[in-house]
Structure 1
Amino acid sequence: MNVIARVTRSYVTRRVMFAVLVLWAVFTAVFIILFIVPGDPAQVIAGGAGGLEATDEQLAAIRAQYGLDQPVIVQYFSMLWGAVTLDWGTSFVFKQPVLPLLAANFASTAQLAAFALIVAVLLGLLIGGLAAYTQSRLLSSTLDALPPIGVATPTFWVGLVLMQVFSFTLGWFPASGDQGLASVVLPGLTMAIPAAAIIAQVFAKSLRTASNEPFVPVARAKGLSRLRVFLSHTARNALLPTVTVMGLVIGSLFAASTVSETIFSRNGLGMALQHSVQSKDIPMVLGAVMLVAGVYVITTLVVDLLYPLIDPRLRSQTARISAANGPSEQSAIEERVSA
């Protein structure tokens, strides 16, 4: 048990360190891009377009106040420390702390992402499951063709088609704004369709792989029906890799909110990020990107840490190896757990 505990701690430590490394890499990349893009943040602070009329003395005073006159490396470490301590500075445009501004927009995007996730999971499991279960080659081929189309179709095109059909033609849902649950449907579907396509692809492939495992004919030999074997055994084993993909989908939905919220003029993190990029509001851009990246990384980390718990085969494999080989085989166990 001591070996297993050490392996678990090592596994968790590596995953957490990798998550921190990813967040640092994202912060560094965004910081570099923002300072390469042309534009003077001091003019933005001075008043946007009106900043063109600001005197050199006024711009110099603004740069000194916000630390923009410091060397780039000094600004980098200052903002990095602020990100670590959750002090993301003051928005250049709104003249307010960044964190409360992002928190105000987070609820709207989280609502949209939750709706999209539910639709994506249900639709993806339905399409993938039916494609693997049906004995009709035509239906199976048709369902197998849907996920690649969903993945390849641009998100903005999906949103525009949904808006044209269900808003302008049928008038079922509003085309823009935030007017309750009805205004969540179209932007949520815009985000859900590509996500459902990914889930369906992975689930269908996992089902076909699991259906070739030895436990399937054994279960059928015991008298279980094909449907019961499919639901109780095949689908249960196929869900494990699908859960991993769902974790990635949650993070990607927050990233996809930029396009969806822009198309449907819905306030949220995506809309705030777009406006911040256009105005080169460096603290807001860094804060919004790090928040989205944080959701993505934390979700992935949680899935990674839970995977050994939801996969009994991995736990039993680790226990057998540790019992047979003892502490000297710790490195081999770690490799198996990390796989």
Structure 2
Amino acid sequence: MHWQYLFRRLTLTAVTLVLVSAVTYSLTGIAPGDPAELVLQKQLGQAPTTEQIEAFRAKHGLDEPIHWQYLHWFGDLLQGDLGQSYYHERSVSELLMDRLPGTVKLAAGGLAVSLAVSLPTGILSARRPQGLADHLSQTIALLGVAMPNFWLGYLLIFAFSLKLGLTPVYGSGTLAHLALPSITLGTGLAAVQTRLLRATLQDTLGAEFVTAARTRGLSEWVVVGKHALRNALLPLLTVVGLQLGFVLNGAVVVEVVFQRPGLGTLLVDAIFDRNYPVVQGVTLLAGVLFVSVNTVTDLAYGLIDPRINVGGDPA
């Protein structure tokens, strides 16, 4: 472990999160519409009075300039306070912790599906280029990249829920509820992983150390699994780390399609409701997850291949 490298990454992470929070706060501040008026109208069911709007703005600090609002919010953040939701009469932290497990389950399910598809298909394609398995996997990968998540989700609902009755249409709570959302999210991830693994594994199979392993009489699966695949996994690990960082984007669509309670649906509802403290909280948490996953991914390089110097310093 290179502690100087880790310190640099943590410092960069902190700076990145500050910039993310500042940009998000600025965008919510210049968004059209007065959140006080819109929130009160939805709560009261009628147009609020001027006094009610002013009271709401004073209560939530919306009567101050945007930079002062941000500084007050950031000061509370340093004390672990993300503020209060305009609607739920609960802290933003509580809402995030309630919804986070649902998104984590969806991300884990999508990743499991993607690896279950990409690893065998990528290996088969690399071992027999231009063969039937290779052409089939490339076609499926191309469809997976081109197919929008929301379209695939509705197609799976129509086929497996409405026609065959094999899975629930909406909701969460069981593995049956998780199956179709995981396939929907994992298909796009698997497409990218398969194409990358095929390309890197093909290059690795032509390397001298692989040829030497074959001359020692090792079986082809031992050569591929123990020697070639280990080296080909490094680029795949990079892509998986980036995909996990961006998985919230896909989760927003998938959770809306399947009506799953998670960070995605929480963010969409908060945007439409002008519930800006929740929008800022979800965005900040997404930033934390993104930079954390990529930091862990970089550190994992040294575990997969000890020859790699993670810190970037001379050995």
TM-score interval w.r.t. the shorter chain? over 0.9
Distance 1:61 1:229 in 2: 71
Shifted more, 92-101 versus 37-46: the winner is 37-46
Match of 1:70?
Answer: 64
1:114-193 alignment to 2 at 5 Å? 114-134=108-128, 137-193=131-187
Q: Check whether the contact 1:45–1:62 (CA below 8 A) recurs between aligned residues.
A: no
Q: Check whether the contact 1:43–1:52 (CA below 8 A) recurs between aligned residues.
A: no
Distance 2:46 2:64 in 1: 22
Match of 2:12 among 18, 31, 34: 18
Match of 1:246?
Answer: 240
Shift of 1:167: 1.0
Amino acid across the alignment from 2:25: F
Match of 1:56?
Answer: 50
Unaligned runs of 5+ in 2: none
**Aligned residues: CA RMSD:** 2.1
TM-score by length of 2: 0.92
Aligned residues: 315
**2:307 counterpart SS class:** helix
Match of 2:312?
Answer: 334
Match of 2:208?
Answer: 214
Amino acid across the alignment from 1:237: N
- 4+ runs of 1 displaced by more than 4 Å? none
Amino acid across the alignment from 1:53: A
1:272-311 alignment to 2 at 5 Å? 272-311=266-305
Shift of 1:28: 2.2
Shift of 1:189: 1.0
Distance 2:47 2:145 in 1: 47
Shifted more, 11-20 versus 193-202: the winner is 11-20
Distance 1:212 1:145 in 2: 24
Match of 1:9?
Answer: 3
Shift of 1:51: 6.9
1:250–1:139 CA distance, 2 compared to 1 (3 A): same
Q: Deviations over 1:22-46 (max 9, x none)?
A: 3223222222221222121212442
**Relative to total residues, which structure has the larger helix share, 1 or 2?**
1
Shift of 1:277: 0.5
Q: Deviations over 1:125-159 (max 9, x none)?
A: 12211111225534313312322321221111111
Q: Deviations over 1:142-191 (max 9, x none)?
A: 31232232122111111111111111111111111124211111111111
1:156–1:335 CA distance, 2 compared to 1 (3 A): farther
Unaligned runs of 5+ in 1: 319-332
Match of 1:313?
Answer: 307
Match of 1:81 among 75, 78, 97: 75
Distance 1:135 1:42 in 2: 61
**1:314 counterpart SS class:** coil
Match of 1:324?
Answer: none
Shifted more, 25-34 versus 67-76: the winner is 25-34
Shifted more, 236-245 versus 261-270: the winner is 236-245
Identity within the alignment, %: 33
